[in-house]
Amino acid sequence: MTGVEIPFTGVRLRFDSTRSFASLVDALLADVGRQPVPIEAIAERHDDWASYEREVQDHVGPHGFMLFGSFDHGGWIKKAGIDRQVLRVIVGNPLIAITMLRHDVTAGLFAPVELLLTEEDGDRSALTYVRPSSLMVVEPNPPLLEAAVALDTKLAVLAASITES
């Protein structure tokens, strides 16, 4: 059995920083929160969108995102001889995601978004991610494109803010 192939091209963005890796991680978590937000548990407590929206909004950081989870690649790649700190962080906001999913639920494959924070040479760091609109909009869909570009902009502002020294 074969699936339908829909080719697309993702656009990777990298924001270099003079911050140390630890400082970059701290700046991101200060913005999105230090503990993952249990959005499914929040949904279970509410019968309607308005009350769900109010509780979710309480968890949104200054740039519009919240922490969903993280994976410490740096903790295991050392075993393979790669001595660098690398943290994959999942951030998002269901109130932003719905602006895209209402136009194409398959956009949910890339919402929330993934950020990769890396330790670089000379006590520097970097933040890398793939521009969400380049992943979500694979067929003509103007309302989805508009919502995804708005997410692109918000994410770029977050990235620029936390990578500044």
CATH code of 99's domain: 3.30.310.70
Residue-wise pLDDT for 20-70, tens only, equals 999 999 999 999 999 999 999 999 999 999 999 999 999 999 999 999 999
- The pLDDT assigned to 165 comes to 72
Whether pLDDT at 3 is above 80: yes
Domain-located, residue 30: yes
Cα(120)–Cα(148) distance, rounded to whole angstroms?
30
Domain-located, residue 57: yes
- The pLDDT assigned to 116 comes to 98
Which DSSP letter does residue 65 get?
-
Residue-wise pLDDT for 95-134, tens only, equals 999 999 999 999 999 999 999 999 999 899 999 999 999 9
Domain-located, residue 4: no
Range of the domain at 69: 12-163
Helices (H), the chain: 21-32, 39-44, 49-57, 74-77, 94-101, 132-136, 142-163
pTM of the model: 0.94
Inter-residue contact 162 to 27 (CB < 8 Å) = yes
Whether pLDDT at 92 is above 90: yes
Domain-located, residue 2: no
Cα(99)–Cα(165) distance, rounded to whole angstroms?
32
Domain-located, residue 118: yes
pLDDT band at 136 (very low <50, low <70, confident <90, very high): very high
Domain-located, residue 1: no
Task: Name beta bridge partners: 16.
Answer: 126
Q: Which residues contact 119 (CB under 8 A, 6 or more apart)?
A: 21, 74, 84, 85, 86, 125
How many domains in the chain?
Answer: 1
Cα(150)–Cα(57) distance, rounded to whole angstroms?
18
Domain-located, residue 5: no
- The pLDDT assigned to 21 comes to 97
Domain-located, residue 3: no
- The pLDDT assigned to 1 comes to 76
